[in-house]
A = this chain, B = another copy of it.
Amino acid sequence: MNFILASGNAHKAEEFGILFKDSNVTVKAAPTKLEVVEDGTTYQENALKKAQAYYEEFKKPVLADDSGINVEALPDELGIFSARFGGEGLTDKQRAELLLEKLLDKEKREAFFTCVLCFYISPEEIYFFEGRMEGEISDSYVGDGGFGYDPVFCPKAFPNKTVAELEEWKNANSHRAKAVESAVKFFKEL
């Protein structure tokens, strides 16, 4: 089954292509990027909004994803707003450092990443999957792999390393990898 990715990011389409290799799902970049207002209240709603917009435009099965990080000590600030934390115009690094600053001297550092995948085959048939990666916010910014909040997030499996230091592990164990795993299993059995 072939999907176009609801994103203007060619690199992201390539990443999904790799995650879905050895499955019966293929993912290609969309012909053009669309501007979609992501004003949903959950990852699922935002993924659905993106999927609908691309399906409406291109009339082909669409894969849309939405993801973010939830930080227990800052319940309303990240989550679906993760990419805008601290305001528009910040770099990934500035956002990650702002997060460290806000958690300075805080005991409570639990956090988890979420990835939601929406497979929008048509309005008649839509499937969602979600994956999570649990862990804690680190004390400092470490590592140069990954992106986003990876350099300030230590997964449960490696409490003393950030995901930015664990690229290989991340490829198989991230929230995105887990969501993809559920989807691959599902489409194999469908």
Contacts and interface: CB of A to CB of B under 8 A. Distances in A.
A89 interface: no
Interface in A113-151: 116, 122-131
Nearest to A132: B124
B125 A128 contact: yes
A86 B159 CA distance: 59
Nearest to A189: B190
A190 to B, nearest CB: 7
Interface string A37-54: 000111011001100100
Contacts of A40: 45
Main secondary structure of the interface of A (DSSP, over half): mixed
Contact of A125 (B48, B126, B182): B182
A42 B118 CA distance: 15
24 contacts: A40-B45, A41-B49, A41-B52, A42-B48, A42-B123, A44-B48, A44-B126, A45-B45, A45-B48, A45-B49, A45-B52, A116-B123, A122-B130, A123-B130, A124-B129, A124-B130, A124-B131, A124-B182, A125-B128, A125-B129, A125-B130, A127-B127, A127-B128, A189-B190
Given A41-B52, A124-B182, 14 more contacts: A40-B45, A42-B52, A44-B48, A45-B45, A45-B49, A48-B48, A122-B130, A123-B130, A124-B131, A125-B128, A125-B130, A125-B182, A126-B127, A126-B128
